[in-house]
Amino acid sequence: MRITREFDAPPEKVFRAQSDPELVVQWLGPRGYEMRIDHFDCRTGGSYRYTHVHEGNEFGFRGSFHEVRPASLIVQTFTFELEPDGVALERLVFEDLGDGRTRLVSTSLVDSFQARDAFVASGMEDGVRQSYERLDELLAA
């Protein structure tokens, strides 16, 4: 799966919003969900775990940061804990468009078409869109 989106902020700022847990917690996840971070160590060799809480239900996500290049690249793994055997390899590429704008290309690699279809059917795409809208608002604030 590949999602491309442009932001009205320079790469350094978009990267910081993706890598600093104090900022991530303000936008990651669909509207109406509260994000709680267990740990979020966004550096090469680090790892993360967080939950999204909605109407008393808590959903856990975790993974490791394979490589982090400031303002340029994040490669990480991703598992939704309710499907503990599923693992995605995610690559976030930050492209400088000039004029203080950034294109973010997010690619998610899974090991079967079934896993891809399950991902799409889960409504994650809509969750990602809502997340990015919230990120827009954070970057504009």
Binding residues (CB under 8 A) for its own copies: these are 44-47, 63-67, 75, 77, 79, 87, 89, 91, 107, 109, 111
Query: Closer to its own copies at the Cβ: 18 or 76?
Result: 76
Query: Closer to its own copies at the Cβ: 25 or 75?
Result: 75
Query: Closer to its own copies at the Cβ: 3 or 89?
Result: 89
- Least distance (Å) between residue 139 CB and its own copies: 27
Q: Are strands 88-98 and 57-69 parallel, antiparallel or unpaired?
A: unpaired
Tell me the sheet residues that pair with 86.
Answer: none
Rounded to an integer, what distance in angstroms lies between the CA atom of residue 141 and that of residue 127?
21
- Least distance (Å) between residue 42 CB and its own copies: 12
